[in-house]
Amino acid sequence: MTGRPVGPDDLTLTLDNPRAERIKKVAALAGRSARSRAGVLLVEGPQAVREAVRHAAARVRDVYLTEDAHARHPEIATEALAAGRYVHLGSPQVLDAMSADAQGVVAVVDDAGYALDDVLAAGPRLVAVLSNVRDPGNAGTVIRAADAAGADAIILAGQSVDPGNPKVIRSTAGSIFHLPIVRSLPLEDAAVALSSAGLRVLAADGSGDAEPGLGRGRCRGTGRPDRLGLWQ
């Protein structure tokens, strides 16, 4: 189980026991405590795994595919092997035991653990901050939208969901591997740090009342980089 195949055409079925210890350890990564102890993420589905291989190959530890998934998405194994990553073929039962949402493709990826100081040192122009977003699907959708809008980084502030949650990763459709994500930061600290770095800070409140002349969904900013603009 330690050998690395020399090419995608040489892959053979090597995992066929869904009760094997390796399979149990991968499946356990659905839980936050297991991810935290191992320092890795569980990445499910062809889109997310493909993006992990293409944009964060150095962090990919192992890629697992069924034979059918390999036939449908041969580029995943090809690119993973070209990057020197381990690729394994498993039976459908094995992949189902790893994840019911895998569609025959799973990867184990190192958790990057980005720090805000490192993000700010890179001179970002646009940072999206999510405050107390607890729903994994909502968090993933915002991350995906921020990526599409050209954000340089994302901060999950307050009591927001863990970005390593497999549901969050699936919802981002791979965007989580395109830009750094900082977690577990108090919202006030994030706003002060961003402002101190010269970024103009604006805020949106989905439950705010409409201000006369603006209407719901319009942004009222202060025009100053050291003040907080509010959605009204």
pLDDT at 109 over 50: yes
* High-pLDDT (> 90) share of the chain, %: 78
Would you place residue 231 in the very low, low, confident or very high pLDDT band (cuts 50, 70, 90)?
very low
Q: What is the pLDDT of residue 227?
A: 33
pLDDT at 89 over 80: yes
Of 2-6, 66-70, 84-88, 206-210, which gets the smallest average pLDDT? Answer: 2-6
**Are 48 and 172 within 8 A, CB to CB?**
yes
Q: What is the pLDDT of residue 225?
A: 35
Q: What is the pLDDT of residue 65?
A: 97
Q: What is the pLDDT of residue 213?
A: 52
Would you place residue 79 in the very low, low, confident or very high pLDDT band (cuts 50, 70, 90)?
very high
Nearest to 25 by CA among 70, 64, 69: 64
**Are 149 and 124 within 8 A, CB to CB?**
no
Would you place residue 221 in the very low, low, confident or very high pLDDT band (cuts 50, 70, 90)?
very low
Whole-angstrom CA distances from 133 to 141, 162, 180 are 11, 10, 17
Torsion-angle region of 231 (φ positive above 0: left; ψ -120 to 50: alpha; else: beta): beta
Would you place residue 160 in the very low, low, confident or very high pLDDT band (cuts 50, 70, 90)?
very high
Reported as type and span, the H/E element at residue 108 is strand 105-110
Q: What is the pLDDT of residues 9-32, one digit of tens each?
A: 778 888 999 999 999 999 999 999
**Are 119 and 180 within 8 A, CB to CB?**
yes
Average pLDDT, the chain: 87
CATH superfamily, domain 8-110, is Ribosomal protein L30/S12 (3.30.1330.30)
Where are the domains positioned within the chain?
A: 8-110, 116-199
Q: Are both 8-110 and 116-199 of the same fold?
A: no
Q: What is the pLDDT of residues 32-46, one digit of tens each?
A: 999 999 999 999 999
Q: What is the pLDDT of residue 205?
A: 76
CATH superfamily, domain 116-199, is SPOUT methyltransferase, trefoil knot domain (3.40.1280.10)
Stretch 106-112: mean pLDDT, rounded?
96
Does the predicted model carry a pTM greater than 0.85?
no
Q: Which two tokens stand for residue 185?
A: 């930061």
Would you place residue 212 in the very low, low, confident or very high pLDDT band (cuts 50, 70, 90)?
low
Q: What is the pLDDT of residue 204?
A: 80
pLDDT at 222 over 90: no
